Amino acid sequence: MNRNFTFGSAAPRNAEPRKPIPKKWIGIGILVILLLILAGESFYTIGEQENAVVTTFGVPQAVTTPGLHFKIPFVQQVNKVSMIIFGLPIGYDPSTNRSIPDESLMITSDYNFVNVDFYIEYRVTDPIAFLFNAENPTEILKTLAMSFIRDTVGVYGVDDVITTGKSQIQSDVKEKLGHRLENENIGLQVVNVTIQDAEPPTSEVLAAFKEVENAKQGAETALNNANKYKSELIPTAEAEADRLLQQAEATKTARINEANGQVARFNSMYEEYQRYPEITRQRMYYEAMEEILPGVRVIIQGKDGNALHVFDFGDSGTKSENP
């Protein structure tokens, strides 16, 4: 028995041979593909918060208008730069919120250690300078920021760094860093500098600072209470002072009037005495006796024991009678 095996896909005996693809169609296909590639390389789009830097034979040019733009394929290169505000954490890892001691641990002017976490907000202001004036502008920004942060924190006491001096420290760091970035000309601008956290490096020191802060708040409360008490007492004291002053003025006026009256009475009595000395002397004597011996009767006796004269010094005046 003879068996014939055929491997492969042999064409049927009566089938017509395939016609080759014309070369012109192959050329047209290649041309279409090249045109599509050229078209794709000829246009680029800029977003609302983007700028682009178009480089032509090594010469950069910034493009800031959003939308669709044309470029020369394979001649011009386009690099897009985001113009949004970025954040740069210093002293901690934002993904885990763990402290980075090499960045956060600093020494203050009073030779204390403190952990300070900063957050730097920045943005690109010059895309060309950002791309071509430095190899890694963001790393330069971080290095400069850490330098100025340590320099600034070092002139403040630990109490100021942890409590009342944060705003001034943030302002100083932002000002120094901003001036340095202008001089470096790496296309970046500092938008804001914020102290995220500041605390002593150990729990014992942290507890001590909390006690100091509580004591300060207690002192401030006591001072406020004292000022309140002072505000309540001052009007009362001023009113009492006014009353005493008015009373003194009234007493002064009364005494002056009384003195003037006594002077006038003395002058009148003196004039009376000059005209009638005996009568005036006797009247003065009676008046003095009325004042010294009110309601007393005085009897003057003679040698024989008989009353020669009787004087009654009563409230109604002196009465003289002969027995």
pLDDT, averaged across the chain? 81
Amino acid type, 309:
H
- As a whole number of angstroms, the longest Cα–Cα distance in the chain is 212
pLDDT at 89: 95
Cβ atoms of 310 and 316 within 8 Å: the answer is: no
Whether the pLDDT of residue 24 is over 70: the answer is no
Q: Residue 5: what pLDDT?
A: 43
Task: Quick: pLDDT tens for 269-306.
Answer: 788 778 888 877 777 777 777 777 666 666 666 666 66
Please work out, in degrees rounded to the nearest 5, the angle formed at the alpha carbon of residue 69 by the alpha carbons of 39 and 49: 130
Task: Tell me which of 44-58, 178-192, 239-253, 272-286 is least confident.
Answer: 272-286
- % of the chain beyond a pLDDT of 70: 75
Pairing relationship of beta strands 50-56 and 59-63 according to DSSP bridges: antiparallel
**pLDDT tier for residue 145 given thresholds of 50, 70 and 90:** very high
- For residue 120, pLDDT over 80 is answered with yes
What mean pLDDT do residues 216-235 have? 86
Least confident range of 173-177, 191-195, 214-218: 214-218
pTM to 2 decimal places = 0.54
Residues sharing a CB contact under 8 Å with residue 188, sequence separation 6 or more, in sequence order: 122, 123, 124, 125, 130, 137, 138, 141, 181
At residue 290, what are phi and psi to the nearest 5 degrees? -60, -35
Instruction: Please state the separation of Cα 248 from the chain's center in Å.
Output: 50
User: Containing H/E element for 279?
Assistant: helix 277-292
Per-residue model confidence (pLDDT) at position 240: 87
